[in-house]
Amino acid sequence: MKNKNHHIQQFELSPLAKAGIIIANMEGREIEEHDVSTPYRDDHCQLMLAVSGEFKLNIDFETITFTAPALLFVFPEQVHQTIEVKDPKGWMISFDPSLVNQDVLQLFGNKFNNPFLLHSGSAFYQHIHILVDLIEKMQSEKPNNYLQNSIGLILNGLLNLIAGELVSDIFINKEKENRSIILKEKFIKLTKENFKTWKQASQYASALSISTSHLNDTVKSLTGSSVSAHIQEVSIIEAKRLLYFTEMTVKEIAYEVGYNEPVYFGKLFKKITKLTPLEFRNKFRDKDHLSLH
């Protein structure tokens, strides 16, 4: 049942992708070229528009069950697997994250909750359905640079349309509050990129050109947690992935997520999760809904 490797299996973008983008229709065929029933992660982003069907997936230890229509977004670092799918219709778009607006991806990281349920009668649903269908039709045509650029522009338009829907119900009436939210979101992005080597709040404050106290006050006022707690949380979620999906030792995992003292790492892990690393490994591997096939 256990994965004997020391690394989580990661898949590259399909060689059939043109200019870093590929769309697959879920109806009547496999949407991936590899086994999706065992946990893995990709080196690219994935956006699913499910038009109909029932879905049960697992993303980073969270079981997600939903009935379409819905959107689902998976980032490269997230470990995921398909548990069960019934009568799926819709599309899966896989794309290189460097091709799209980075501010939009940052917004998705902060605001996108899987699944994002849709109303089939809404104008928003109709718009994104048209755009995704158009991408599929254009992909089937004989490729040239202008066509591929057009597909990239439509993908960015699609993601921007979704971003607008994510923030449409947020009203900020003070410029100071708006600046604080932007600062917090930039900090969260930095933690995902640098958690293995940056363990101090001062490192993030320096990168953001503000004082450590200002960063900590801002983050804590908006999230209820300190800067240090956020840094630790990102490290622990990666440790959880490695504990469950690989055979790396606790010592190896400690080093992998940036802690040079395995004993300290073990104490920190238990403080946050209420379990030792080995207790976590044994407990979650025994759970049926996370079992590997």
Q: pLDDT for 244-269, tens place per residue?
A: 888 899 999 999 999 999 999 999 99
CATH of segment(s) 10-167? 2.60.120.280
Cβ contact 136:91 at 8 Å: yes
Angle, helices 175-194/227-245, rounded to nearest 10 degrees: 40
Q: Where are the domains of the chain?
A: 10-167, 175-290
Q: Give the lowest-confidence range in 138-142, 238-242, 280-284.
A: 280-284
Cβ contact 267:30 at 8 Å: no
CATH of 175-290, one of 3.40.830.10, 3.40.50.12280, 1.10.10.60, 1.20.1250.20: 1.10.10.60
Distance, in Å, from the CA atom of 236 to the CA atom of 204, rounded to the nearest integer, reads: 18
Tokens linked to 52: 């109909």
- pLDDT band at 5; cut points 50, 70, 90: low
What are the backbone dihedrals phi and psi of residue 15, each rounded to the nearest 5 degrees, phi first? -65, -15
User: Residue 65: its pLDDT value, please?
Assistant: 95
Cα 87 to Cα 53, 54, 55, 223, distances in angstroms? 5, 7, 9, 39
Phi-psi region of 122 (alpha: psi -120 to 50; beta: other; left: phi over 0): beta
Q: Give the lowest-confidence range in 1-5, 60-64, 67-71, 204-208.
A: 1-5
Q: How many CB atoms lie within 10 A of CB 147?
A: 15
Q: Give the lowest-confidence range in 86-90, 97-101, 158-162.
A: 97-101
48 pairs with which residues across the strands?
A: 72, 92
189 pairs with which residues across the strands?
A: none
**Cα dihedral sign, 208-166-88-289:** positive
Helix (H) or strand (E) holding 272: helix 262-273
Helix segments in 140-261, DSSP class H: 145-167, 175-194, 201-207, 212-223, 227-245, 250-256
62 pairs with which residues across the strands?
A: 59
Distance, in Å, from the CA atom of 249 to the CA atom of 112, rounded to the nearest integer, reads: 33
pLDDT tens, residue by residue, 20-36: 999 999 985 555 555 66
Which residues have CB under 8 Å from 212's CB, separation 6+?
Answer: 201, 202, 205, 227
Distance, in Å, from the CA atom of 244 to the CA atom of 2, rounded to the nearest integer, reads: 9
User: Residue 176: its pLDDT value, please?
Assistant: 52
Distance, in Å, from the CA atom of 145 to the CA atom of 149, rounded to the nearest integer, reads: 6
Tokens linked to 47: 């956006």
Q: What percent of the chain has pLDDT over 90?
A: 62
Q: How many CB atoms lie within 10 A of CB 164?
A: 12
